[in-house]
Amino acid sequence: MPVEKKFVERKGVEIPEGTQVGLFAGLIHLGTQRNEYEGKVSYKDQVLLRFELPDVTLEDGRPITITKRETNSAGAKSNMLKLVRALKGTKDLEDGVDYEELIGQPVMLEIAHTAKGNAKIDGYMPVPEFLKKTVKPLMTEPQLLFDVEQISDKELEAMPEWLRELINKRVQEGGDIDEGANY
């Protein structure tokens, strides 16, 4: 049974809480990012994941997108590993992961709201087989930019300003840990 679409007036408004189907629409490598939590500083290699929600659309029919930053890790408890398993529907990852192959695949996203009312992704689960048949891919701008050190000027210029700033804040490979990139 198809899910009734929910329309919103503009991007970022009223993404409902709960479990929703999302299409994996992009992965952008952010490089090593400085993080601070409860006064402790750490440095982690991160990616920005992008999902389109085909059941939450703008009035013109375009899907709402939601992003999530994750640590680029394949450890046994990593969120990236959970995402890949949810997308591939398998625990067998011995051959590695081809993220480009996963673009456009559906995944169940656990959506929650922050104290400020913003939607965030809390988890990933495989899409049940009966739902896969009802998902209509609406991907408008699929992206896969995995190697941050090889982004072309054209690709970088096409990104939103906030994303360019985030990439520019990364720690240069082999450089001083407090020195950011300069584009």
pLDDT tens-digit series, residues 21-66: 898 988 888 888 888 889 898 888 888 999 988 887 777 777 788 8
User: Whole-prediction pTM value?
Assistant: 0.76
In whole angstroms, what is the distance from residue 84 CA to residue 57 CA? 25
pLDDT greater than 60 at residue 4: no
Residue 180 DSSP code: B
In whole angstroms, what is the distance from residue 75 CA to residue 71 CA? 10
Residue 130 CB contacts under 8 Å (≥ 6 apart), including other chains = none
Q: Collapse the DSSP code of 143 into the 3-class scheme (helix H, G, I; strand E, B; otherwise coil) and give the result.
A: strand
